Structure 1
Amino acid sequence: MVWSKAGGAYSRVLAAVTGAAFLTAAATGCGTRPGDTGPAPAAPGSPGKPSAQAGIRPIPGQTSRPDASLPAPLVSMDLSHDSDKGARGVNITIDDGPDPVWTPRVLRLLKDNGVKATFCMVGPQAEAHPGLVKDVVAAGHLLCAHSLSHDTAMDHKSRDYQAKEVLESARMITEASGGVKPLYYRAPGGAFTPYSRQLAAAHGMRPLGWNVDSKDFKRPGSAAIVRTVKNELSNGPTVLFHDAGGDRSQTVAALREILPWLKHQGREFGFPER
């Protein structure tokens, strides 16, 4: 089975943005959501790898079968959940910013605790606050594209729409950062599709899932956020927080407790596997 290319959607979007610096440079966690069928069956005689006949070089460890009619993945199109620090690793990921109130406070807490994190930014937010994007990069954190409009139903939309959400957000973040490209793509609400995952991977962005949802976006109280993280950390190393989208004072208070606790547990802070 191969996912078909619908109506030249990707080519039309690519042609519209080919002049962007992001695309020029690119040329040289979650559970399965509706619309994301997950890994496709492996080619006969080649378990877990794309068919050699597809003309796409295998990515070590990748289990998803790419669509040969789309650009080849440069990094794995499988969702990343693991840590580059191994079994004791933990990945702090921060979504929806940057925000002029809460991102600086999160950055200070990370610095005070010697923690590097991955910031999953919404394109227009990055475009509106380029200084904060540069601050994130200067502090040694990594960038992740988190769509253009934070549409949690984008997995039910057209390929044209998905391509714009992925590529335009990455372009905005790259420009705001001064040329530093996002290394990951996280769909809002986990609204990935095989198409969006391959499209992101074809532009050097590993699709990024998560293992622990702190549920801080519900503002249940900092104690509840801390309790959720502690209780669910056995699920895996990638933890989801937010630094925008509303009052994030509870998130800041929770991080103030969680980060030292994680260090006391002997956890090493790292980045999601690429």
Structure 2
Amino acid sequence: MMSRAALVSAFCLLLIVTGCGQAGTGPDPAAAPPTPAPAPSTPPAPAASPSPTRSTPPAPVRARPTGLPAGLRKTTGVREVALTFDDGPDPKYTPTVLDQLREAKVKATFCVIGKRAERYPELVARIAREGHQLCNHSWDHDMDLGRRPKAAIRADMRRTSAAIRAAVPDAKVPFYRQPGGRWNAEVVAVAKQLGMRSLHWTVDPQDWAKPTAPTIAKRIKKAARPGAVVLLHDGGGDRAPTVAACPRVILDLKTRYGITKLR
């Protein structure tokens, strides 16, 4: 049997060995402290998308001009107003209009269609004989005449003036009026080259749309001012309302302003 002293020594040795094993598994006091886990951060903003590649900008679209070109005659230049009649001559309506003007002792301007002047030369002759002004209104009222080549515009105007002068050999044709008022600089220039001034208007009662005679007269009375050029029609369709309105229109304008022939 071990003595008491030997037992104590063996027990002490066991404690030493056990303590060393526990010290190897524990934390090392001399080691650096553990790095703390990083705190959650704000998610990074998404990268900006790349700018699109710039291409050559498209050519600007030119707006169609809405104003009237320079060089148009739109007033009489005096206090008196002017009556103008388009799209004739017409064998049914033009003689009646001429009778009304003669009775009222006033003169007007007749913007005649070339092919109608060719067909009714006796009416063109009467217009001139009774002292009214003649105006070239194109050969067949081509609303797109201004879009034609200059040579075509010139040929149209010349043909119309020739038809007028065939009826009245010494006729003066100082004015040209564009169908539908669809003016452009080319039309004005060609008319000027042919010795004609481009004639527009300031009062349009839209009698071509066939309103009633009282409506035509009312519109003219409301819109007329000193020096106005009034647009009416003696041809190109049913002009009975226009003819019926004329006596009232003539009396009103003659009383308020006077009526003159364009020169």
Q: In the aligned structure 2, how far is the partner of 1:222 from the partner of 1:234?
A: 20
TM-score normalised per structure 1:
0.69
Secondary structure of 1:119 counterpart = strand
**Matched residue type, 2:69:** G
Aligned to 2:170: 179
The CA deviation at 1:236 is: 5.1
Show the counterpart of 1:38: 69
Work out the CA distance in 1 between the residues paired with 2:219 and 2:68.
28
User: 2:74: which partner in 1?
Assistant: 81
Q: Is 2:259 aligned against 1:244?
A: no
Cα deviation digits, residues 213-236 of structure 1 (max 9, x gap): 121111110011011101111385
Give 1:106 shift. 0.3
Which residue identity is paired with 1:105? T
Task: Write the deviation string for residues 47-96 of structure 1: whole angstroms up to 9, x where unpaired.
Answer: xxxxxxxxxxxxxxxxxxxxxxxxxxxxxxx1111215x1x210000000
- Select 1:211's aligned residue among 202, 208, 212: 202
Instruction: List gaps (5 residues or longer) in structure 2.
Output: 1-63
- TM-score normalised per structure 2: 0.71
Matched, 1:127 2:127: no
Q: 1:262 aligns with which of 245, 253, 256?
A: 253
Change (3 A) 1:201 1:237: same
Q: Which residue of 2 aligns with 1:68?
A: none
Distance 2:87 2:197 in 1: 18
Instruction: Give the superposition deviation at 1:271.
Output: 2.9
Question: Equivalents in 2 of 1:35, 1:254: separation in Å?
Answer: 31
1:104-152: CA deviation from partner (whole Å, max 9, x where unpaired): 0000000011110000000000010111001000100010000012011
Q: Give, as a single letter, the amino acid of the residue that structure 1 aligns with 2:87.
A: D
Question: Which protein has the larger Cα radius of gyration, Structure 1 or Structure 2?
Answer: 2
Aligned equivalents of 1:179 and 1:197: distance in 2? 24
Letter in 1 for 2:163: M
Show the counterpart of 2:105.
Answer: 114
- Secondary structure of 2:141's partner? coil
Please tell me whether the aligned partners of residues 170 and 181 of structure 1 are also in contact (alpha carbons under 8 angstroms).
no
Question: How far off is 1:157 after superposition?
Answer: 2.2
Q: Matches of residues 47-66 of structure 1 in structure 2 within 5 Å?
A: none
Summarize the Cα distance change of 1:228–1:184 in structure 2 as closer, same or farther, 3 Å threshold.
Answer: same
| Aligned pairs for 1:135-154 within 5 A | 135-154=126-145
* Local SS of the residue matching 2:232: strand
Report the AA paired with residue 241 of structure 2. Q
Q: Which amino acid aligns with 1:122?
A: I
Alignment of 1:192 with 2:183, yes or no, is yes
- Displacement of 1:195 in angstroms is 1.9
Match of 1:97 among 63, 75, 88: 88
Find the aligned partners of 1:209 and 1:270 in 2 and give their Cα distance.
16
* SS of 1:212 mapped into structure 2: coil
Residue identity opposite 1:271 in structure 2: K
Change (3 A) 1:124 1:261: same
SS at match of 1:89: coil
Aligned letter for 1:83?
T
**d(CA) in 2 for partners of 1:261, 1:35:** 32
